[in-house]
Amino acid sequence: MLSSRYMTSTKNLGTIMQKIVDGTAPPKFTVAHLKGLGFKSSNDQGIIPVLKDLKLLSADGAPTQRYHDYRDPSKSKAVMAEALREAYGELFHITEKPTEADRNAIKGKFKSTHNVSDQVAGLQAATFYALLKLADLNAAKPPAPIVETKGTKLEQEPKYHVPPAGGHLNLRYNIEVHLPATKDVDVYNAIFKALKEHLVD
C-alpha cells in the first residue's frame, strides 16, 4: 500500500500529533475539532485524511484503538512506526529505514504510483518524512501470536521446518491413543501389540 494523502504544509503536523497525545479523544476528529485545538489554517486540514490512512481514525472520523494507543507517550513512536509500515508499505520496499538520502527515490515512487506532478509528489514525500520523525522504526515488533485452546495458552509454532540446502527433513509425529474403559488386560495388550506391529516394526 502507498497512501496518496498529503498536507500542503507540514509545519504544524508534529504539534497536532502532540495535541493528540496531550488531549482527550473526541467522538469524531473533525475540522471543527482541529480548529478547537488552535489549528485554523486550511493547510492543517489535510491531517484528517492522513490520520484515516494511518488507521488512527475510522472512515467517519472516529478515533480507533490505534489512536488511543498513540496517546500513550511510551507507545507513540512504536504505534506510528506500525502505522507507517502499513500505510506506506511500498516505500519500505525501497529501504527498510528511509533517510533523507532516499527522498528522491521516495518522491519518484509517489509520482509513478499515483501519476501525480512533481509538486504533489514532493508534498506527499514531505508528509511521509514529517510523520517519520514521529516514529521509531527500531521499536520492538509485537510478540508471536498466542493460540488459546480450552483455557490453555500455547505458543504458535510452525507445522514444519524447511531444512537447509543439502539437509534432511526431520518430521515428528505425535499419536494419541484413546484407550477404552475396561478392566480386561487382554484388550490393552492387543492394542499395544497392534501399535508395535504397525508403527514400531
- Taking the domains of the chain in order of start, what are their residue ranges? 13-132
Interatomic CA distance for residues 180 and 9, integer angstroms: 75
pLDDT of residue 163: 57
Residue 52, C-alpha cell as written in the block: 484515516
* Side-chain half-sphere CA neighbours of 43 within 13 A: 9
pLDDT of residue 195: 74
Mean pLDDT of the chain, nearest integer: 85
Give percent of the chain above pLDDT 90. 69
pLDDT at 20 over 60: yes
Q: Which residue has the higher pLDDT, 178 or 144?
A: 178
CA angle 22, 25, 29 (to 5 degrees): 115
pLDDT of residue 152: 46
pLDDT at 172 over 50: yes
Confidence of residue 30 (pLDDT cuts 50, 70, 90): very high
Contact 157, 146 (CB under 8 A): no
pLDDT of residue 194: 75
pLDDT at 189 over 50: yes
Hunting for cell 506391529 — which residue is that? 197
pLDDT at 46 over 70: yes
Using only C-alpha atoms, the chain has a radius of gyration, in whole angstroms, of 27
Confidence of residue 190 (pLDDT cuts 50, 70, 90): confident
